[in-house]
A and B are shown apart, each in its own frame.
Chain A
Amino acid sequence: MMGNLRIIIRLAWRNLWRNYRRTLIMLAAIVIGVWAMIFMTALMRGMVDDMVKDGISALPGHVQIHNPAFRDDPTIANVMEPPSGKLLEVLNRPEVVAWTTRVRVPAVISSERDTRGVTLVGIEPDRERGISFVAEDVTEGRYLESRDDRGLVVGRKLTEKLETGLGKRVVIMSQDQENEIADRGFRIVGIFDSKLDQYEEQFVFAGEGTIQELLGVGDAISEVAILGTDYRDVEGLRQMVADAAGPDVEVLPWNKLDPYLGSMLAVMDGFVVVWIVVVFLALSFGLVNTLVMAVFERVREIGLMLALGMTPRNILSQILAESILLLVIGLAIGNLAAWATIEPLKGGIDVSIVGQGMEYWGAASILYPALYLKDVILANIIVIVLGFFASLSPAWRASRYDPVRAITKV
Chain B
Amino acid sequence: MNITFRLAWRNLWRRKRRTWLTVGAMVFSNIILVFMISLQIGMYGMMINNTLRAQTGHLQVQAAGYLDDHKIRQVVPDVEQLAAKLRRGLATDEVAARASAFALVSSADRSYGLQITGVEPKFEPRVSSLPGLIKDGRFLSDAKADEIVIGRVLARNLQVGVGGELTFIGSARDGSIAAAVVTVVGIFESGMSDLDRNLAEVPLRFFQDTFAMGDAGHSVVIMAPSLIQVGATRSRAEALLPAGEDLVIHDWEALLPGLKQAIQADFTSAWFMYGILIVLVAFSVLNTQLMSVLERTKEFGIVMSLGVTPGRLGRLVLLETTLMATIGLVLGVLLGGALVLWFGSHGFSYPGMQEMAGKFNLPSRIYLQVTFIGLLFGPMIIFISSIVASLYPAVRLRFMEPVAAMRAA
**Contact surface of A with B, Cβ cutoff 8 Å:** 19, 21-22, 25-26, 28-29, 32-33, 36, 40, 43-44, 72-75, 77, 106-108, 114-118, 161, 173-175, 179, 181, 259-260, 262-264, 266-267, 270, 275, 278-279, 281-283, 285-286, 288-290, 292-293, 296-297, 351, 353-362
State whether B287 touches A290 (Cβ < 8 A).
Answer: yes
In angstroms, how far is the closest chain A Cβ from the Cβ of B159? 7
Find A354's partner among B17, B265, B276, B277 (CB 8 Å cutoff). B265
Q: Quick one: given A263-B352, A282-B25, are A29 and B280 in contact (CB under 8 Å)?
A: yes
How many chain-B residues does the 8 Å CB contact rule pick out?
Answer: 66
Q: Are A22 and B276 in contact (CB under 8 A)?
A: no
Interface centre among A267, A354, A358, A362 (most CB of B within 10 A): A354
In the assembled complex, the Cα of A283 lies from the Cα of B358 at a distance in Å of 36
Q: Which residues from A are CB-within-8-Å of B11? A: none
Residue in A173, A266, A285 whose CB lies within 8 Å of B24: A285
**Complex alpha-carbon distance, A372 and B86, angstroms:** 57
Contact partners of B273 in chain A: CB under 8 A: 36, 40, 275
With CB as the reference atom, state the residue of chain B lying closest to A115.
Answer: B102
A357 with B262: CB separation less than 8 A: yes
Q: B288 near A73 (CB under 8 angstroms)?
A: no
Min CB distance B407 to A, Å, is 18
Least distance between A299 CB and chain B CB atoms (Å): 13
Chain B residue at minimum C-beta to C-beta distance from A44: B269
Q: How far is the CA of A174 from the CA of B110 in the complex (A)?
A: 10
* Set A44, A260, A275, A289: member contacting B355, Cβ < 8 A: A260
B40 smallest CB distance to A (angstroms): 15
Interface string of B99-111 (1 = CB under 8 A from A): 0001010001111
Q: Do A118 and B264 have beta carbons less than 8 Å apart?
A: no
Given contacts A175-B110, A279-B280, contact A40 B262 (CB under 8 A): no
Distance of A196 from chain B, by nearest CB (Å): 11
For the complex formed, measure the closest distance between the CB of B178 and the CB atoms of chain A, giving whole angstroms: 11
Residue interface bits B280-291, CB-to-A below 8 A is 1, else 0: 110110111011
Instruction: Say which one of B87-95, B253-261, B335-343 lies at the interface with A.
Output: B253-261
* B244 in contact (CB, < 8 A): no
List of A residues within 8 angstroms of B214 by Cβ: none
With contacts A25-B286, A262-B355, A360-B259 known, is A106 near B280, CB below 8 A? no
A225 to B115, alpha carbons, bound, how many Å?
30
Classify the interface of chain A: helix, strand, loop or mixed. Answer: helix
Residues of A within 8 A of B398 (CB): none
Q: Choose one: B18, B32, B115, B261; the contact of A278 (CB below 8 Å).
A: B32
**Looking across the interface, which residue of chain A has its beta carbon closest to that of B36?**
A278
CA distance in complex: A74, B157 (Å) = 8
Give A159 to B371 CA distance when docked, in angstroms: 47
Inter-chain CA distance A25–B356, complex, in Å, is 41
Task: Name the contact of A286 in the complex, choosing from B170, B269, B283 (C-beta under 8 A).
Answer: B283
Task: Assess A288 versus B260: contact at CB under 8 Å? Given A21-B294, A116-B102.
Answer: no
What 1/0 flags go to B293-316 for Cβ under 8 Å of A?
011000000000000000000000
> What 0/1 pattern do residues 109 to 151 of B give for CB contact below 8 A with A?
1111111000000000000000000000000000000000000
Tell me if B277 and A264 are in contact (CB < 8 A): no
Q: Which of B110, B157, B258, B283 contacts A360 (CB 8 A)?
A: B258
Question: Which residues of the other chain, A, contact B25 by a CB distance below 8 angstroms?
Answer: 282, 285-286, 289
- Whole-angstrom distance between the Cβ of A337 and the nearest chain B Cβ: 13
Residues of chain A lying within 8 A (CB to CB) of residue B257: 356-357
